[in-house]
Amino acid sequence: MSTIIEIKDLTKKYGKRTAVNHLNLNVNAGEIFGFVGPNGAGKTTTMRILATLLRANSGEAVIAGHSVKKSPRGVRGAIGYMPDAFGIYHDMRVWEYLDFFGACYQLRETERKRLVNDLLELVDMTPRRDDMVDKLSRGLQQRLGLARTLIHDPQVLILDEPASGLDPRARVEIRELLVELARMGKTVFFSTHILADVAEICTRVGIIEGGQIVALGTLDELQRGLAAQRAVHIVVLDQAAAAQEFLSALPGVSGVETPAEQTPQTRTRLEVKFTGDDTALSAMLTGLAARHVPVVHFSEDSQNLEDIFMQLTKSSLE
C-alpha cells in the first residue's frame, strides 16, 4: 500500500511546553487510522498542523504528495478537515450550508446542486435538506459537518473527535459512515476518546503521549507487543496430571497452575503461563489431543484497547 500521510520529526512548541515532540508517523492510502491519546497528548495540535492551520517549529508533513510547509494550498485540496468543534451558520438551511462551502471551493452551480444531493443521500439527511442548520441535533450536525468535508471530493479525511458528545446510536451511525467512506477509497485519519469505536473499525491505531507515538499497529500487534507473557486457560475432563506434565515440559511454558476454585468437579481448569508464538500455541492444543486428553475449553487472555491504552499512558496519570 502507498503512503498518503507522511510525518517526519514534527515538532510544535508553545513557549516552554512541547506539544508535539519529533513525531514520526506514516498512514497508508485507504486506511481507517485511529489517533488515540490522553488530553494534552498532542492529537489536536498534530491534526491542525496537517490541516495547515498551525505551523510546526520543525519537521515536515506530506499529504498526498503535498508539503504542509511548501504547498499548503495543495494540502487543502487533498484533505477534508473537521475540527472537534466546527461552526454552524444560523439562518441557513441544510442544503444552503453545503452549497455555500461548494461555492467556497469555486464549484460551478450545476455541479454543486448534484453534489449537495449526493452528499445528503450519503449521510442519510435527504429528508432534512430544508431544515435550519442550528435546529439540528448534535448527531445530525456531525453528519452534516462530515458531508461538508467531502464537498470537494478529498482523498484524505482528518477528523478530530467526530463522535464527541454523541449518543450511542449516533456514534454507531458515524462509525458506519466512516467505514463506508473507506470503502469508497477515502483515507480516514481520526482522533477519539471512544476506544471501543477505534477497536471496532480501525485498520491501525497510533497511541500518542507527550507528543510522541508510543505504540503503533493493528490491535493484534499492540496486544502481542505488550504481552511479554501470555495466559492460556485450558479445561480438561480427566487426565489432568498427564496434561499438566505435558504442558510443563513445553518450551516457552513458565508455569502451569490449577486454581483452587474448580467447578464442576468433573472438570479441571489449568492456567498456563506461556511466551511462545501462535504456532507454538497451536502445537500445545495438538499435543494434548494426540495424548487423548479430553479438552473442553482452550482460550487465551487478550488485552482490549482500553487495557493497552491505560498501560501505555500510565505516566500521564501519575
pLDDT tens-place string over residues 167-205: 888 888 889 999 999 999 999 999 987 777 788 899 999
The whole domain housing 39 covers: 3-224
Number of domains in the chain: 2
Name the 3-class secondary structure at 24: strand
Looking at 224, 242, 275, the residue that finishes a domain is: 224
* 263-317 confidence digits (pLDDT tens): 566 789 999 988 888 888 899 999 999 999 999 999 987 666 677 777 667 544 3
Query: In this structure, are 103 and 162 located in the same domain?
Result: yes
Looking at 191, 224, 257, the residue that finishes a domain is: 224
| Sequence-separated contacts (24+) of 177-183 with Cβ below 8 Å | 177/122, 177/123, 177/143, 177/146, 178/32, 179/32, 180/122, 181/150, 181/157, 182/30, 182/31, 182/32
CA distances for 110 relative to 102, 117, 146, angstroms: 11, 11, 22
Query: Does residue 140 lie within any of the structural domains?
Result: yes
Query: In this structure, are 179 and 250 located in the same domain?
Result: no
For residue 164, how many other CB atoms are within 10 A of its CB? Answer: 16
What CA–CA distance (Å, rounded) separates 194 from 173?
A: 14
Reference 172, options 186, 183, 162; nearest CA is 162
* 42-51 confidence digits (pLDDT tens): 999 999 999 9
What CA–CA distance (Å, rounded) separates 120 from 115?
A: 8
* 108-153 confidence digits (pLDDT tens): 999 999 999 999 999 999 999 999 999 999 889 999 999 999 999 9
Burial label for 70, CB within 10 Å (0-12, 13-18, 19+), is exposed
Query: In this structure, are 121 and 194 located in the same domain?
Result: yes
Query: In this structure, are 177 and 293 located in the same domain?
Result: no
Query: In this structure, are 63 and 167 located in the same domain?
Result: yes
| Predicted local distance difference test score (pLDDT) of residue 289 | 92
Query: Does residue 9 lie within any of the structural domains?
Result: yes
C-alpha dihedral sign at 170, 172, 176, 182:
positive
Residue the block writes with cell 501505555: 312
Query: In this structure, are 163 and 238 located in the same domain?
Result: no
Query: In this structure, are 271 and 128 located in the same domain?
Result: no
Query: Does residue 306 lie within any of the structural domains?
Result: no
Per DSSP bridges, beta strands 79-82 and 156-160 are parallel
What CA–CA distance (Å, rounded) separates 252 from 105?
A: 60
The pTM is what?
0.77
Q: Which CATH number goes with the domain that contains 218?
A: 3.40.50.300
Tell me if 167 sits within 8 A of 139, measured CB to CB. yes
Query: In this structure, are 157 and 236 located in the same domain?
Result: no
Task: Specify which residues 235 forms β-bridges with.
Answer: 269, 297
Q: Which CATH number goes with the domain that contains 270?
A: 3.30.70.260
Query: Does residue 241 lie within any of the structural domains?
Result: yes
Largest CA distance in the chain: 79
Query: In this structure, are 122 and 216 located in the same domain?
Result: yes
Looking at 224, 252, 279, the residue that finishes a domain is: 224
Note the Cα 27 to chain centre separation in Å.
12
* 161-176 confidence digits (pLDDT tens): 998 878 888 888 889 9
Query: Does residue 307 lie within any of the structural domains?
Result: no
Tell me if 251 sits within 8 A of 280, measured CB to CB. yes
Query: Does residue 315 lie within any of the structural domains?
Result: no
What CA–CA distance (Å, rounded) separates 254 from 12?
A: 46
Reference 8, options 146, 152, 213; nearest CA is 213
Query: In this structure, are 211 and 285 located in the same domain?
Result: no
